[in-house]
Amino acid sequence: MSGEANSESHSESHSESFWEQVKTVAIAVLIALTIRAFVVEPFRIPSGSMLPTLLIGDHLFVNKFVYGPKVPFTDMRLPGLREPERGDIIVFTVARDGNETFPADRHPELRREEYVKRIVGLPGDRVEVRDGSVWVNGELLDVEPLPETFRDGSGRVLNVEQVDLGDKTYRILDDPNRDTPAKRPVTTVEPGRYLVLGDNRDYSADSRIWGTVRKAEIKGPAFILYWSWDFNGGWFELLDPRTWWNADKRWDRIGAGLD
């Protein structure tokens, strides 16, 4: 009898241990999902539209708490620390149909994709794009050419310029051999929406082409790089150990803050 009792006791102990581990894993997953939904979310840079600020292969965190985290499956947001500001680098959702991009709220039937750009126009602003220059409410953005160039992945040599927004400065790129006319040369930003541009001005599909972004589609501002390497392949390549060994790591960018 005692042997049977010990066996049953051992079985019950093993079962309790198993369910304790399951509960621990479930709690850990729940905490991770909560953090991703309401606090921070990772994002990978797949294109050069934000050069020279963000490089292809940069991995960054988005702060979802600053503007107020979005309630899942709704357009509602919880109270945030501040409103989006001019110059913020934001990650947001757009609608995609082949090579065409649209504001996500205006084509809810299309598949979703995440973009990263910089806010230039706030609600109520009148933004004009003339010959590559940007005017906001009748004032030309202060842009100063810098004595340096930037060579992109296609070998193009681009001029580097600095934009001064008063309390924030950042660099943009200009291709002197390319003129990119805006499909929307003049835009009055509607309430609750934002006009965004890529820092790589001549090679960015942004609000000049497809329109403005509703606040409900903004995930939050990008605030820090947690990883960076010269790799932009798919999951199959990522699972290959040779990828991790051969891809150039940009150690100097890891941990860098974003303006």
Cα–Cα distance measured from residue 157 to residue 229, given in angstroms and rounded to the nearest whole number: 21
Question: Taking Cα atoms as reference points, which of 144, 142, 117, 145 lies closest to residue 208?
Answer: 117
User: One of 70, 117, 215, 219 is an active-site residue; which one?
Assistant: 117
- Tokens 């990119």, residue? 180
Q: What stretches of the chain show up as alpha helix (H) in DSSP? A: 2-38, 207-210, 235-238, 241-246
249 is catalytic: no
- Tokens 């006319």, residue? 181
Which class for 133: exposed (0-12), middle (13-18), buried (19 or more C-beta within 10 A)? exposed
Q: Return the structure tokens found at 243.
A: 């990828």
50 Cβ contact list (under 8 Å, min separation 6): 89, 116, 117, 118, 198, 199, 200, 204
117 is catalytic: yes
Q: Where are the beta strands (DSSP E) in 198-238?
A: 213-214, 218-228
Enzyme catalytic residues: 49, 117
